[in-house]
Amino acid sequence: MTGRRRASAAITAVLLAVAIGSVPSSPAQADPTIDEVKTRVDRLYHEAEQAQERYNDAKVELAELRKDLASLEADQGRQNSRLDEVRGQVQDSIVSQYEGTSLSAVGQAVVSEDPGLFLSQLTTISAYNDIQSQLFADYATELKALNIRRTATRDRQAQIAELEKQLAKEQKSVDDKLAAAKSQLADLEEEERAALLASRGGEVRLPSGVPASGRAAAAVRYAMAQVGDAYVYGAAGPSAFDCSGLTMMAWAQAGVGLPHSSSAQFGSGPHIPSNALRPGDLVFYYSPISHVAIYIGNGLIVHAANPGAGVRVAGVFSMPYSGAVRPG
pLDDT digits (tens, 9 = 90+) for 286-311: 999 999 999 999 899 999 999 888 99
Number of domains forming the structure of the chain: 2
Per residue in 209-225, pLDDT tens?
Answer: 666 778 899 999 999 99
Q: Are residues 250 and 164 in the same domain?
A: no
Per-residue pLDDT, averaged over 155-171, amounts to: 81
pLDDT at residue 129 is higher than 80: no
- The residue from 160, 186, 212 where one domain ends is 186
State which residues form the domain around 50.
34-186
- Say whether both 177 and 317 belong to one domain: no
In-domain check, residue 118: yes
CATH number of the CATH domain containing 275: 3.90.1720.10
Per-residue pLDDT reduced to its tens digit, 69-124? 777 777 777 767 776 776 777 667 666 655 554 444 444 445 455 666 666 655 55
Which has the minimum average pLDDT: 11-25, 190-204, 267-281?
Answer: 11-25
Is residue 13 one of the residues assigned to a domain? no
Q: Which stretches of the chain are DSSP H helices?
A: 3-22, 34-97, 102-109, 115-123, 133-186, 190-200, 214-225, 243-252, 262-265
Same domain, 61 and 103: yes
Cα gap 46→7, rounded to integer Å: 67
- The number of residues in the chain equals 328
pLDDT score recorded for residue 39: 80
pLDDT in the model for residue 15: 37
Q: Which residue has the higher pLDDT, 162 or 107?
A: 162
Q: Mean pLDDT across the stretch 271-291?
A: 95
Q: Is 124 exposed, middle or buried (0-12, 13-18, 19+ CB in 10 A)?
A: exposed
Q: Are residues 180 and 228 in the same domain?
A: no
Q: Could you list the active site residues?
A: 243, 291, 303
237/115 same-domain check: no
pLDDT band at 8 (very low <50, low <70, confident <90, very high): very low
Among 131, 157, 186, the domain-final residue is 186
Higher pLDDT, 52 or 320: 320
One domain, residues 152 and 54: yes
Average pLDDT of span 46-62: 84
Whichever domain contains 65, its CATH number is 1.10.287
Q: Return the pLDDT at 16.
A: 37
Q: Which of 35-49, 60-74, 86-100, 197-211 shows the lowest per-residue confidence on average (mean pLDDT)? A: 197-211
User: Are the C-beta atoms of 322 and 309 separated by less than 8 Å?
Assistant: no
Compute the half-sphere exposure of residue 133: CA atoms within 13 Å on the CB side of its CA: 1
Residues 157 and 232 in one domain: no
Pairing outcome for strands 311-315 and 300-304: antiparallel
Q: Are residues 220 and 321 in the same domain?
A: yes
**Residue 73: predicted pLDDT:** 76
Torsion angles phi and psi, residue 248, rounded to 5: -60, -50
Residue that wins the pLDDT comparison between 311 and 133: 311
Q: Indicate the pLDDT class of residue 23, thresholds 50, 70 and 90.
A: very low
Residue 96's pLDDT is what?
62
Residues 123 and 262 in one domain: no
- Residue 134 pLDDT greater than 80, yes or no: no
Q: Within this chain, do residues 181 and 40 fall inside the same structural domain, yes or no?
A: yes
Do 216 and 223 touch, CB atoms closer than 8 A?
no
229 pLDDT tier (thresholds 50, 70, 90):
very high
In a domain, 278, yes or no: yes
